[in-house]
Amino acid sequence: MTDHTFDFDRYDRVRPIRWTGDALELLDQRKLPFVVEYVRCESSDDVAAAIHALTVRGAPAIGIAAAWGVVLAARGIDAADGASALTEMEPAMQRLYAARPTAVNLGWALARMRRTLTAAGEDWREVIERDADAITAEDLAANRRMGALGAALIGEGSGVMTHCNTGSLATAGFGTALGVIRAGVAQGRITKVYAGETRPWLQGARLTAWELQQDGIMPTLIADAAASHLMKSGAVQWVVVGADRICANGDVANKIGTYQLALSARHHGVRFMVAAPSSTVDMAMDCGDSIEIEMRDPDELFGVGSVRTAALEISAWNPVFDVTPHELIDAIVTERGVIERPDAAAMQAAFGD
């Protein structure tokens, strides 16, 4: 391993969110990998519907889309300053907030846009547009920083496993866990990447595999149920995942299946890393028990795509996130640094401000 510099453009080409100046274009993640198509959102309610439908998904991407949703909500509002505009925009912002419950980045972005509006004068429209742009740029910069910090923990020639999609598709670009993997591959630390399918919505099979392929990294797909068998074989040294909410004690909500990966990793001596920007940290939430776990339509479990595979007239339970207790996590990586063996004291020291 000699060269640790990183050619970002070579390893990061996908962009899921585009602001055109008068509309928000979202790469339709329901249609990937076979159809690459952007959906045009012209109102904040279009954005809320797109977040709910998973047209755009992934915690940081949801926050960024919501920030642009606020910019769209300003349309047709005639107000002398930001504080007056906020009063009129509040119902639209509440609808954005209600689009999905688990990822804190949605509420984080809306709270930031509220603060920006409250402080803005007569140029409030330009001010919120600049802030939505800043949220996007800061996310990309945070991911690149996390990539470097997370990759540095991984030994040369390692195999890693990841879950869901945490890449450019889930962020402003580069990705969280997938950013760590991109950086690790570029530096020769990671020689093999395993991606879990991530039933039922198949973010791993449809999105992570496609996204890595675009950037010349060839992942090996595994059934979610093969993860423990893989870890037992000694082929992976790290499981690297993202997060939708990180609590004040270090508990982490992430895509359903993450918890069982952490349990299995601990059993097999495989290390477990969570990579997420500081916008995913929720110091107001003491521990994972209080996190609202999104429940989605049981229909998602009854088939693959539009093809029914389950017996008819049955019920299904479909929580789409779970909580990994902090005791099972070896490292939480944010753009602010690495927290090894996270707990309440370490989180307070890092994020207590």
Between 190 and 219, how does the x/- string for binding to ligand MRU read (CB under 6 A)? -------------x----------------
Six-digit token string for 68 = 């642009």
| Cβ-contact 147, 139 below 8 angstroms | no
Q: Figure out which of the listed residues 106, 164, 273, 339 binds ligand MRU, where binding follows CB under 6 A.
A: 164
Coil, helix or strand at residue 212 = helix
Residue 79: CB minimum distance to ligand MRU, A: 33
Query: Using the rule CB under 6 A, is 265 a contact of ligand MRU?
Result: no
Of residues 74 and 320, the one with the C-beta less far from ligand MRU:
320
Integer CA distances (angstroms), 269 to 143, 178, 262, 280, 345, in order? 27, 22, 10, 27, 25
Distance in angstroms (rounded) separating the CA atoms of residues 10 and 265: 31
Coil, helix or strand at residue 178 = helix
Query: Using the rule CB under 6 A, is 136 a contact of ligand MRU?
Result: no
Residue closest to ligand MRU when measured from CB atoms: 242
Residue 48: CB minimum distance to ligand MRU, A: 15
The dihedral formed by the CA atoms of 270, 180, 176 and 275, expressed in degrees to the nearest 10: 40
Six-digit token string for 342 = 């996270």
Tell me the sheet residues that pair with 222.
196
Of residues 96 and 170, the one with the C-beta less far from ligand MRU:
170
Residue 81: CB minimum distance to ligand MRU, A: 35
Of residues 85 and 271, the one with the C-beta less far from ligand MRU:
271
Residue 339: CB minimum distance to ligand MRU, A: 17
Of residues 120 and 246, the one with the C-beta less far from ligand MRU:
246
324: DSSP letter: E
160 phi and psi angles, rounded to 5 deg: -130, 155
Residue 57: CB minimum distance to ligand MRU, A: 3
28 in catalytic set: no
- Write out the E strands in the chain: 17-19, 24-27, 38-41, 158-162, 190-196, 220-222, 238-241, 245-247, 252-255, 271-275, 281-282, 303-304, 307-308, 321-324, 331-334, 337-340
- From the list 10-18, 162-170, 182-190, 329-337, the region that binds ligand MRU by CB under 6 A is 162-170
Residue 315: CB minimum distance to ligand MRU, A: 21
Of residues 120 and 145, the one with the C-beta less far from ligand MRU:
145
Six-digit token string for 174 = 């580069």
Six-digit token string for 113 = 């846009």
Q: Which of residues 45-84 bind ligand MRU (CB under 6 A)?
A: 57-60
Cβ-Cβ contacts under 8 Å for 144 (sequence gap 6 or more): 6, 8, 174, 179
Q: Which of residues 304-323 bind ligand MRU (CB under 6 A)?
A: 320
152: DSSP letter: T
| Cβ-contact 170, 61 below 8 angstroms | yes
Q: Figure out which of the listed residues 187, 208, 254, 264 binds ligand MRU, where binding follows CB under 6 A.
A: 254
Residue 65: CB minimum distance to ligand MRU, A: 11
- From the list 80-88, 116-124, 222-230, 238-246, the region that binds ligand MRU by CB under 6 A is 238-246
Tell me the sheet residues that pair with 245.
253
From 46, 215, 224, 244, the catalytic residue: 244
Q: Which of residues 92-111 bind ligand MRU (CB under 6 A)?
A: 103
Footprint of ligand MRU on this chain (CB under 6 A)? 57-60, 103, 164, 166, 170-171, 176, 203, 242-244, 254-255, 320
What is the set of active-site residues? 244
